[in-house]
Amino acid sequence: MAFVHPHPFVFLLILLPISAVAQNDAGYVNVGSSLTATDENSTSWLSPSGDFAFGFSPLNQKDLFLLSIWFAKIPDKTVVWYAILDNPAPRGSKVELITERGLVLTGPQGNELWSTNTTGTLYGAMNNTGNFVLEDSNFNKLWESFKNPSDTVLPAQIMERGGVLSSRQSETNFSKGRFQLQLGDDGNLVLHTINLPTDNPNEAYYESQTTAGDSGTSSPGEQLVFNESAYMYIRRENNQMVALSQARVGSTADFYFRATLNFDGVFTQYSHPRTSNANGSWNPIWSVPDNICVASNAKIGSGTCGFNSICILKPDRRPLCTCPKGYSFLDPNDPYGTCKPDFIQGCEEDELSPGTDLYSFEVLTNTDWPFSDYAYMKPYTEDQCRKSCMEDCMCAVAIFRLGDSCWKKKLPLSNGKVDSSLNGGKAFIKIRNNYSITLPDDRLPNPNPKPENKNQNNLILMWSMLLGGSVLVNIILIVAICLGVFFIHHKRLKRPIPNVDAVEMNLRCFTYKELVEATDVFKEELGRGAFGIVYKGAIQMSSNVLVAVKKLDSLFQENSDKEFKTEVTVIGQTHHKNLVRLLGFCDEGLHRLLVYEFLSNGSLASFLYRDSKPSWNLRVQIAVGIARGLLYLHEECSTQIIHCDIKPQNILLDDYYNARISDFGLAKRLIMNQSKTHTNIRGTKGYVAPEWFRNMPITTKVDVYSYGVMLLEIICSRRSVDLETIGEQQAILTDWAYDCYQEGRLDSLVEYDVEALDDRRKLVRFVMVAIWCIQEDPFLRPNMRRATQMLEGVVEVPVPPSPYPYSKTS
C-alpha cells in the first residue's frame, strides 16, 4: 500500500488546538474558556508581559462589575477598554468565548448583555499592546478591541475614518457620556458633544483641520495613529503626517502611555512610570483643546458644563463647572450637570408678589452665556441695561460689554464660561430676594383665620398695656429701639464688602465667621508657612470643596488694607499649573486670611523624606514642574514675584503628583518695605542664599539658590542638612553633592538608586544644574529660564565651578 503524504495544512489544523492550549499562559484563550464576576480578585486573561488584563473590574456600586481591559501592574487598575452597556454587569455575570458568537457576556440568569457577534472564532488573545483579538482558523482577525475602542487609545493603535471615542458619564460612571472624538469621512479629527440618548452631534469644539485643501495641495486625513513610540499624529492619504502635539513624551521602555477622552470632554495623553509603586500616578503630557470652556461654542446643547452653569478652566486645563449664586446643581451628585434656580421666576409669579424689590443682581465679570439672547439693545448704558432686565419678567441675565451693548437672555442658559478676552464685560444675574415668593394676603388660603386674629389681638393688647403703663416705660422702650437700630446699622457698615479687584478675578471675599465654621474653629492644622498657620477646611461653593485656610501672622495684619488687597490682587492674577490656586480671602478688621485649594497628596517634604525612595521619573517631573512655576513667577506673570522661601514644605502635590508652589506673592512686599539696617532674613535654614547675610540686593537669584538646594534633595531623596542619621562628611548635602560630582561618584550621591543610575545622562545634567544654582556669587547663578532650559535638555549645561569661591563650609 502506497504511503500518502498528508498536506501541510492538515498538520496545521492538528497542531492549532494543541498550540492554543500550550500558549494559554502566554495570552491565548481557548474556545469554551470563561470568566465570572465574583470579587476584586477574580481571575483574568493576562497578556504575555503581564502588563494588561481582560476580565471583570468591580465598580464602586456594590455587586456591579465592568467587563474591561486594564493596566495590570498599576495599583489603581486603570481601565483602557470596556464593553459599553446600558447597565453594569451584576455579580455572577459570565463572559465566555464561543465559536458561533465570539465573546458573549451573560447575566446571572443567562440573559445576554453584550457580545462581539462574530462567527468561526478559533481562539482569543490578550496582546502585549493591550489589544484583545479574536481570530479564525485562517488567522483572520474577526474582532479586536483596538477597532472597537471605548474612551481610550493605546500605543500601536490606529483609528480609521469613521472611528469614534465616546467619553464616560463621570469618573466612576462608565455609561455613555456626551462627548465624542471622531475621525470624520472628510479626514477631519473633531471633538463635539452629542444629544443623548442619540449620537446626533453638535458643532465641533475642536478640529484638526486635516480635510483636503481647497486648492488641492493637501490630502485629507486617513488615520489617527498612536504609534509604538507614543507619538500621536494624523496620517493623510498622501502619507504626510500632522502631529497633534510637539510635546516630548519619553520612552515606552520607562513609561506606560494612554490617550483618553475624559468625561469632561478634554482629550489628554498621559504617562505613568513603569516602575510603579504606591506613589505612581498618571501625568498629563498634552491635551486638546487648550481651553475647553472657551472652545465649546455650539448653538445647540449646554456646552462643556450643564445648562445655567459656568465653566472655569483649572490649571490642569480641565474644566470646573460651577453654579451662579442663587442656583444649585439639579443632580447634587453630578458636579458637571445642569444648574437650576433656587427660586421661582416668571411673569405670573411676579404679579402675585407685592412690592418692587423682588430681585437683586449678582455681578460677574468676564462671564458670558453666548446664546439664549432674545433682545439686543445698542447703544445702551450699563444702568439702562440693568434696569431693562430688572423690569422684564422674562429676563434672567443681562450682559453688558463693548461699551454700549446690552443682551437680555432667558433660561436655560448655555455655554456658560469665564473668558478673559471679554475685557471686563459684566453679567448681571437676576436673583429673587430671599429665594421665596410672598403672596398678597387675599391670594393666600387661610384655613384657620380665627386663631390668627386672636393672636394678633392678644399682641395688640399686650403692647397697649406696656405702653400705657407709665411714661418711664415708654422712654426706656424708645431708647432701647434707638440703640438696637444703631447697632444693627453699625454692624452692617462693618460687614466686609467684596473688593472690586476680587470680583474681577472671580475671587470670593469670605467673612471671618464663614472661615471659622469652615475650619471647625481652626481645628486641623496642615502646616506652618513663612507668614502664618494653614488649616484644613470645607466650604460650600456650589458643592462642598476642601480648602486650605492660611491665617496670616501679625506682620501681615499690621499692613494697610490697600497693601493687603494689592497683594491679593497680585496672587489672584497668577494662573499656572505649577502654582497653588487662590480661591478667596478674608479682610475683616484684624483678620487677614487666604483661602487656597486643598491638594490631597501633601507636601514635597512628606513625599521625599520617607523610607522608600519615590520613582526617579516622578522626581524628575516634580523638579521640572517647580522650575516652570518659578519661571512664571519671575518673568511671566503680570507682577514679578520673588518667593523668598522655596523649600519642600512649600511645594504641594496634586492628585497627579504635579508640583504646585505655595506661599508665593506675600514675601516681596515685606522685603521691599524693610530698611537695610533692620533686615529680617526671610527663608529657612539650609535654603537661604548668601546675599541675605551680606547686605546685597535681593533679587530673583535668592529663589534660584533655594531651588538648587531643593533640586539636590529631589535628586537624592534626603534632607539638605542631616546631622543625626548621616555621617559628618555627608551631612551638608550641597558640600557632599559637589564632592561626589568632582570625584565622579554620583552612585554614592544617590545611594545606588538603580532608576537614577539607569538614566545617568539626565542625573549628571540635573546635578550640574543644581551646582550652578547654588553658586555663592548670585551673578554666576542662571536665571530660572536658563535653569529650566538646561533641565529640559534644550541648552547644553557647562561644567560648573566650585560653588564656594569665597569660603568653604567645613
Which residues have a catalytic role annotated? 645
Residue 150's nearest CA partner among 254, 66, 60, 270 is 66
Sign of CA dihedral 399, 402, 405, 407: negative
Q: State the Cα–Cα distance between residues 159 and 226, nearest whole angstrom.
A: 9
Residue 309's nearest CA partner among 346, 332, 336, 345 is 336
**SS3 of residue 334 by DSSP:** coil
Residue 269's nearest CA partner among 304, 245, 242 is 245
Q: State the Cα–Cα distance between residues 747 and 677, nearest whole angstrom.
A: 45
Q: State the Cα–Cα distance between residues 422 and 427, nearest whole angstrom.
A: 11
Whether residue 551 is annotated as binding a ligand: the answer is yes
| Residue 72 CB neighbours (<10 A) | 19
**SS3 of residue 537 by DSSP:** strand
Per residue, the 3-state secondary structure of 209-258, as one string, reads: CCCCCCCCCCCCEEEEEECCCCCEEEEECCCCEEECCCCCCCCCCCEEEE
**SS3 of residue 707 by DSSP:** helix
Sign of CA dihedral 361, 366, 367, 371: positive
Contacts of 437 (CB under 8 A, 6+ apart): 343, 344, 349, 352, 353
Q: State the Cα–Cα distance between residues 660 and 599, nearest whole angstrom.
A: 9
Q: State the Cα–Cα distance between residues 516 and 584, nearest whole angstrom.
A: 14
**Backbone phi, then psi, for 205, in 5-degree steps?**
-105, 0
How far is residue 594 CA from its own chain's centroid?
21
Q: In terms of DSSP H, where are the helices of 573-700?
A: 604-608, 616-631, 667-673
With beta carbons less than 8 A apart as the criterion, state whether 352 and 437 touch. yes
| Residue 442 CB neighbours (<10 A) | 6
Feature table: binding site for ATP = 551
Feature table: binding site = 551
